[in-house]
Amino acid sequence: MRIVLEVPSVSPGQIALVTNDSICARALQAVDSVVHATNPSSPTTMPVRSLYVVAVGTYTAVVDPVANIGGWVPLYFFDPAWNFVNFLIRW
């Protein structure tokens, strides 16, 4: 699955919950950008909300627990430059 999602292989020690406010704010911007790019009818101004942000080596995984796609919550992956890599819906 990691290969399909284009996420690098990392040791378990390189996976950690992120608690840094500026990184979490950037994660919210990145997710909102993906939402707007994939759903032009989404609200122009997205509400501020809590996310789960996880460092996966130099990549970042983000879960928006408020989002719901057919009963599933998406998991977004971003590279070190915050470029959208892929997402997983059925996890």
CA distance 39 to 43: 9
Tokens of 46: 């997205």
How many structural domains comprise the chain? 1
CA distance 36 to 44: 8
Per-10-residue mean pLDDT, the chain, length 91: 88 96 95 88 82 96 86 91 90 52
pLDDT at res. 20 = 96
Q: State the residue range of the domain holding 54.
A: 2-88
**Confidence (pTM):** 0.88
CA distance 63 to 75: 5
Q: How many CA atoms lie within 13 A of 36 on its CB side?
A: 11
CA distance 86 to 4: 9
